Structure 1
Amino acid sequence: MKTTTHYSALVEHIGKLLQQGRSQAAQSVNTILVQTYWLIGQHIVLFEQGGQEKSVYGSKLLEQLAKDLTERYGKGFSRSNLFQIRQFYLGYSKVQTVSGQFKLSWSHYVEILKTNHPLEISFYTKQAEKENWSVRELKRQMKSMLFHRLALSKDKAGVLSLAEKGQEIQQPEDIIKDPFVLEFLNIPQAHQYLETELEQQLITNLQQFLLELGKGFAFIGRQYKISLGGKHFYVDLVFYHRILKCFVLIDLKRGELSHQDIGQMNLYLNYFQKEENVADDNLPIGIVLGAYKDRILVEYALENMTNQLFVSKYQLYLPDKKQLEHELQKLLTY
């Protein structure tokens, strides 16, 4: 019996080592591939800049190169692939040394380069590295215009810092987006949904909701019961933020937000601060999410409030790309 147990342990250990080795080998191969593509792109661009493209091949350099490389080395060198390789070098041409610089897969870089804005390229690269996004998660964040939504809440210096370092969670304001985009729920705009339906859909799609909320959120529960003076109240969604070390309470409202909604969240925050927090917890954060909000009403409702309470919109569809780009451009040129 003892021998069998030891043998099973041996097989398990070998299996773990093989899995780890294969993972490291795949990562190493990917890193070498990405580095090689960067160098190939560099050679193509330097050839073009030397004027040899026009003198020898005119504007058909990539077409001719694709044909010759495919004949010599086989598949992988179509004109479209060479165009992406060339764009990859141009997008990351400021890399000083190739070794150790590229941490994402080639598929990640192909997606990121679908934007040609240097600030976006830098931000999505840093963020994908920080949060270990899959290619699918990266696509979703880019479609939802994450960079623009975060950038528009900052000044010009803040936008440049965001692009250079990615999103850094250091204070409660850093986890707020306006709007939060919930297009993954697939609720039609015209559908007359209830708040309970919205909440259930978020729970059903919790993984994608956590991606939208951002790094550090851990789900605690829904309809969290609070009992005060013989009355019962229920917080729609409760999370704990591992980085900020505090509870995050979210209340969902189907229509326009009111000052009563803000007052109710303030009550929840006071309760959590006194009844739920333990010694190492920081002050809780409250987020009231509604489909609409009156900025002046919200401003007056929040004035002189000491709790960390934020009011934000959500929308069930992807934001207007041109409008957000226009607003960001105004901010950067101001």
Structure 2
Amino acid sequence: MELKNQNLFNRVIELLVQARQKVSQTINNTMAITYFEIGRMIVEEEQQGKEKAEYGKQILNELSEKLVVEFGKGFSETNLKQMRSFYLTYSIRQTVSDEFAKDYTVPVQFKLTWSHYLKLMRIPDLNERNFYEIEAIKNNWSLRELQRQFDSALYTRLVLSKNKEEVISLGQKGQIIEKNKDLIKDPYVLEFLGLPQKSFYSESDLEQKLIDKLEHFLLELGNGFTFVARQKRITFEEKHFKVDLVFYNRILKCFVLIDLKIGELKHQDIGQMQMYVNYFDREVKLEDENKTIGIILCQDKSESLVRYTLPENNDQIFASKYLTVLPSEKDFIKIIEN
């Protein structure tokens, strides 16, 4: 039976979905707070023991046995140790950022699920851990997406182009986009496309895969991106050109053009992107919008070629490598060092 008032139906559905999300968030917050408090109680009780190591082991064993009987296997000795670690990890750290935390009614350390915190606690570097926590909250990352961003070394890729003060800021505020270069990563990791590293594929194949996995690609691009067009046609003097992908960044208020290149970057590729950027600046962007950014994604590039092809004060054209498989930790270190 078709509803006469479809608008009413849509509004009720939206309200119910929002209610479910709020209930889920409340449960997650309450669980994290509860486990934090259990961890605190365990630590405080352990500190009263004369032989801390033996006394602590005895406490966990006895407490686990009683809680499992009362509440189930979620309170094994291993899980209680994790709760203790949770308290020790988050009770002694510095506040992530007063400016960031004030936007939330719940303390910032309790905005994610327990599973998120189990992952975060395994990151030893405080700044890196804080960064992933802030970004997971800001971007509503699922646990799977948090794991994916960590595996693709997002923090490390962003750190490469920053000075000491900017690196510290990443751990206090997350990724802050204030200038064009803040948008750029090198390399971009596109393992979600399912393309083997050494198989043959065309630029159109790569483009189609990115469109098919657009949601994943937007997450890899970063904050504030919206999709505008693919194969955007540019025409002047009866000559036609096509920009592979066009995005808009709401934070910097500018168009972002992406050109895909198979193989090594050539100086002609940079010149072509310069033409696209100039056209958008002069013919497409509005007066209150900022200058267009062009990103060339390529399999390989010469830093010298890029440096000498572009002007010294360049802040619009960027060339970055892309990877179609997730490297091992050892290979990632080599890529980053090179």
Do these two structures clear the TM 0.5 threshold for a shared fold by scoring above it? yes
- Which of 92, 113, 117 aligns to 2:125? It is 117
Q: What SS is found at the alignment partner of 1:192?
A: coil
Q: What SS is found at the alignment partner of 2:206?
A: helix
Counterpart of 2:263 in structure 1 is: 255
Q: What SS is found at the alignment partner of 2:82?
A: helix
Distance in 2 (alpha carbons) for counterparts of 1:231 and 1:12: 47
C-alpha contact (below 8 Å) 1:145/1:321 kept by paired residues: no
Counterpart of 1:224 in structure 2 is: 232
Cα displacement (A) at 1:242: 1.0
Distance in 1 (alpha carbons) for counterparts of 2:65 and 2:73: 10
Matched ranges for 1:76-95 at <5 A: 76-93=74-91, 94=93
C-alpha contact (below 8 Å) 2:49/2:56 kept by paired residues: no
Distance in 1 (alpha carbons) for counterparts of 2:186 and 2:167: 15
The aligned length equals 325
Cα displacement (A) at 1:280: 2.2
Cα displacement (A) at 1:261: 0.7
Counterpart of 1:145 in structure 2 is: 153
Counterpart of 1:32 in structure 2 is: 30
Cα displacement (A) at 1:326: 9.2
C-alpha contact (below 8 Å) 1:222/1:235 kept by paired residues: yes
Counterpart of 1:100 in structure 2 is: 107
- Which of 230, 233, 236 aligns to 2:241? It is 233
Q: What SS is found at the alignment partner of 1:220?
A: strand
Q: What SS is found at the alignment partner of 1:110?
A: helix
Note the residue ranges of structure 1 that are not aligned, 5 or more in a row: none
Distance in 2 (alpha carbons) for counterparts of 1:164 and 1:324: 25
Distance in 2 (alpha carbons) for counterparts of 1:173 and 1:24: 36
**RMSD between aligned residues:** 2.9
Partner letter of residue 131 of structure 2? F
Matched ranges for 1:116-265 at <5 A: 116-265=124-273
Distance in 2 (alpha carbons) for counterparts of 1:274 and 1:25: 49
- Calculate the TM-score normalised by the size of structure 2: 0.86
Note the residue ranges of structure 2 that are not aligned, 5 or more in a row: 96-100
Q: 1:25 to 1:177 in 2, by over 3 A?
A: same
Tell me which moved more, 135-144 or 267-276.
Answer: 135-144
Q: 1:132 to 1:256 in 2, by over 3 A?
A: same
- Calculate the TM-score normalised by the size of structure 1: 0.87
Partner letter of residue 30 of structure 2? I
Distance in 1 (alpha carbons) for counterparts of 2:13 and 2:259: 46
Cα displacement (A) at 1:222: 0.9
Distance in 1 (alpha carbons) for counterparts of 2:224 and 2:272: 25
Partner letter of residue 149 of structure 1? R
Q: What SS is found at the alignment partner of 1:30?
A: helix
